[in-house]
């Protein structure tokens, strides 16, 4: 079994361990993250810097809230979207995508 990729401690703390709130946050993440990830992937494929920045910026707080390392990759993608030519966005997106796919599987299994 793979290591759990997410950490709900921030959500637990902000909700005073309210199981309904935690479930709502998880369900929202499961519902919205794949859509945003698809838009981000399309923007990267099309080298659409404005939308890469927009979607990386949009998902970054959720990644941090769920304790995912991918928030660091989102920062790189966000920076590239602002015009930073030196970043390897494909490598960063690949890591982010893989981590999110595993996290979504785990969250669906656990909730």
pLDDT value at residue 86: 64
Structure tokens at 61: 């707080």
Rounded to a whole number of angstroms, the CA Rg of the chain reads 14
pLDDT at 8 over 60: yes
What does the alpha-carbon distance between residue 69 and residue 18 come to, in Å, rounded to a whole number? 25
pLDDT at 2 over 90: no
More confident residue, 68 or 1: 68
What does the alpha-carbon distance between residue 6 and residue 50 come to, in Å, rounded to a whole number? 28
Residue 66: C-alpha distances to residues 33, 41, 80, 81 (Å): 12, 21, 23, 23
Which whole number is the average pLDDT over 29-44?
A: 97
* pTM score: 0.89
- All domains of the chain, ordered by start, with CATH? 9-110 (1.20.120)
pLDDT at 3 over 90: no
User: What pLDDT, in 10s, does the model give residues 43-98?
Assistant: 999 999 999 999 999 999 999 999 999 989 999 999 999 887 767 889 999 999 99
């Amino acid at each position: 079994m793979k290591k759990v990729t997410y950490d709900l401690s921030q959500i637990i703390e902000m909700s005073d361990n309210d199981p309904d709130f935690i479930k709502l946050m998880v369900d929202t993440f499961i519902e919205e993250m794949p859509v945003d990830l698809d838009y981000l992937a399309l923007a990267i494929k099309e080298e659409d810097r404005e939308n890469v920045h927009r979607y990386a910026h949009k998902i970054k707080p959720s990644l941090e809230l769920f304790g995912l390392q991918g928030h660091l990759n989102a920062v790189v993608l966000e920076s590239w979207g602002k015009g930073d030519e030196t970043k390897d966005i494909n490598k960063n997106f690949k890591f982010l995508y893989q981590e999110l796919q595993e996290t979504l599987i785990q969250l669906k299994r656990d909730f």
